[in-house]
Amino acid sequence: MIELLPQSIGVCLAVHFSGKVISSEYQQFLDALGECLKTGDQVSLVVKFADFEFYGDFESAKQDFKFGFGDYKHIHRAAFVGDQKWIGWFTRLVGPFTRAEEKQFPAGRLEEALNWARG
């Protein structure tokens, strides 16, 4: 499930990923990102992960892949909130291949992540 968080303001998009994500939910995320891009060329992204099980269907995985090699280039800062070990190694792995500044925050530190992303 993807939930757009009320802390999304201007060019900072905050989302909560949990459970299995299906393509219609991922499309809502992409639409929200598109709205942010209407107000600026660079967007900050804050993603909170809780009980995230990855993709519920092939289409959502394909959308994420396309996002990673397409619109992610518009991300200025990306904050990932959660204690899952894969978040840390993911940010270190993809960091050299992106323009975004990426940082992991422990679960429960959403406000700190938002402040950093907006900074």
Q: What pLDDT score does 25 carry?
A: 94
Residue 9 DSSP code: B
- pLDDT tens for the chain, 119 residues: list them: 999 999 999 899 999 999 999 999 999 999 999 999 888 789 999 999 988 887 888 999 899 888 888 888 899 999 999 988 878 787 777 777 788 899 999 999 999 999 999 98
| Residue 76 and residue 107 in contact, taking contact as beta carbons nearer than 8 Å | no
**Residue 43, burial from CB neighbour count under 10 angstroms (0-12, 13-18, 19+):** buried
Q: What pLDDT score does 55 carry?
A: 86
Q: What pLDDT score does 98 carry?
A: 80
Q: What pLDDT score does 115 carry?
A: 97
